[in-house]
Chains A and B, each alone.
Chain A
Amino acid sequence: MTHINLASLEVGQTIGSTEFLLTRDSLVRYAGASGDFNPIHYRDDFAVSVGLPGVLAHGMLTMGVSVQLVVDWIGDPGRILDYGVRFTKPVVVDAVEGAVLVVSGKIGEVDADNSVVRVDITATFADTAVLGKAQARVRI
Chain B
Amino acid sequence: MVNPNVEGKTYPETAPYLVGREKIREFAHAVKSTSPINLDLFAAQAAGYADVVAPPTFAVVIQERSLATVLADKDADIDFSRVVHGDQRFVHTRPIVAGDELTSTLTVASVKALGAHAMVTFETKIHDARKELVCTAISTLVVRGGDE
Contact = CB atoms under 8 A, between A and B. Distances in A.
B107 to A, nearest CB: 18
Interface residues of B, number: 35
Instruction: Tell me whether chain B's interface is mostly helix, strand or loop, or mixed.
Output: mixed
B88 to A, nearest CB: 6
A76 B21 CA distance: 17
A80 B92 contact: yes
B87 A86 contact: yes
Contacts of B32: 20, 26, 65, 68
Q: Which of the four size classes fits the interface of chain A?
A: 20 to 34
A63 interface: yes
Interface of A: 20, 26, 29-30, 32-36, 50, 59-61, 63-65, 67-68, 71-72, 75-78, 80-87, 133, 136
Interface of B: 23, 26-27, 29-35, 37-38, 47, 49, 53-57, 60-61, 64, 81, 84-92, 94-95, 138
24 contacts: A26-B32, A29-B29, A33-B26, A33-B30, A35-B64, A60-B88, A61-B30, A63-B88, A67-B57, A68-B31, A68-B32, A68-B35, A68-B55, A71-B35, A77-B33, A77-B35, A77-B37, A77-B53, A77-B54, A77-B55, A80-B56, A81-B91, A84-B89, A133-B87
